[in-house]
Amino acid sequence: MKDIKVLGPGCARCVTTAEMVQKEADKLGVPVTIEKVTDYAAIAGYGIASTPGIVVDGKVVHAGGLPKVEDLARWLAA
């Protein structure tokens, strides 16, 4: 089970990012838990300045803008 956190204030891009992660996980058959982190202090604690951010199993893998599908597949498969 992959522990995924989507960091962001809840904007449209953040919502889309969470949906993209779930869709790719389903496609790959990778079980995930997705948590949306909207608290600015918590987001800053990960050291990112632009959102949406993605944290996979405690490691920041993406910050700013929508992720590429091929990157999602790589992060989920690792």
- Give pLDDT, residue 53: 98
In order of start, what are the domains of the chain with their CATH numbers? 2-77 (3.40.30.10)
Query: Which pLDDT tens digit goes with each residue over 37-67?
Result: 999 999 999 999 899 999 999 999 999 999 9
Query: Which pLDDT tens digit goes with each residue over 9-37?
Result: 999 999 999 999 999 999 999 999 999 99
- Tell me how crowded residue 51 is: count the other CB atoms within 10 A of its CB: 22
Whether 78 has a pLDDT exceeding 90, the answer reads no
Q: pTM value?
A: 0.95
Query: Which pLDDT tens digit goes with each residue over 1-10?
Result: 999 999 999 9
Nearest to 56 by CA among 27, 29, 35, 28: 35
